[in-house]
Amino acid sequence: MADEAGNNYYTILDSGSPHITVPKTMYNAIIDKLMEASGRPQYYTKDGITFVDCYMVSTYADLSIMMNGLWLDVSPYDYIWDVNNDGETCILMVTEHDYDFFVLGLPIFQGYYSHHSLNDSTIAFTPLSGLDKQPLKVGAVPANYLMPRADEDEDTCTILCFERKLIKNLFLGVFKLPVWLVQFTVGVVSFLVEMLVFLVKLPFLAVYYFFYFFYWVFVLH
């Protein structure tokens, strides 16, 4: 594989890898294209991991990968993972690394029977029976290239990111509120106790300074 800037990338097919891993320089550009093809759903990318809404999985486009003139389609149900299996936190099984090669891992093998030929160093794919996987399709090599994003080192954040931050802050606020109330109550009580002690001492201080004043005027002078 190569981009328009002339950067060459090679690809490793690895059924033992749980992810599709891409060079860091190309990651955000690939995610942008995927989101554009999927109708621009909400997502949040941080440290090479993209978080998406679990309930939006069905709206994502297939990932289409060309190998030797054949297109292999990867369903969003194969490249989006519900981390806790609770419909709350989902991530793309498309991640980044610092190397100049792609790793096509387990998501591309889902729903296919794959045959690895050591004799001619090829891999053949055929859909498993009973599934809705389609055979690989013959197609032309795309004429357009992906360009690396200029802000590759920056995290991307959509509305989903701000929603999660807001929920997190509200969640933390609920737990911090009792602590704040206790601290405020302790402060008020301490202030009232100090004021009470001062008011109790005030008459004694007044008497003390009254007699001291006369002592200073008539005795010391």
Residue-wise pLDDT tens digits, 47-105: 888 999 898 899 999 998 888 888 999 999 999 999 888 888 899 999 999 888 999 99
Q: Checking phi first, is residue 40 left (phi over 0); if not, alpha (psi -120 to 50) or beta?
A: left
**Burial, 79: exposed, middle or buried (Cβ in 10 Å; 0-12, 13-18, 19+)?**
buried
| Rounded distance between C-alpha atoms, residue 195 and residue 173, angstroms | 32
Q: What's residue 21's pLDDT?
A: 94
Backbone angles phi, psi at 213, to 5 degrees: -60, -45
Of 213 and 190, the structure prediction assigns the larger pLDDT to 190
DSSP code of residue 4? T
For the ranges 90-94, 131-135, 215-219, which has the lowest average pLDDT?
215-219
pTM assigned to the model: 0.63
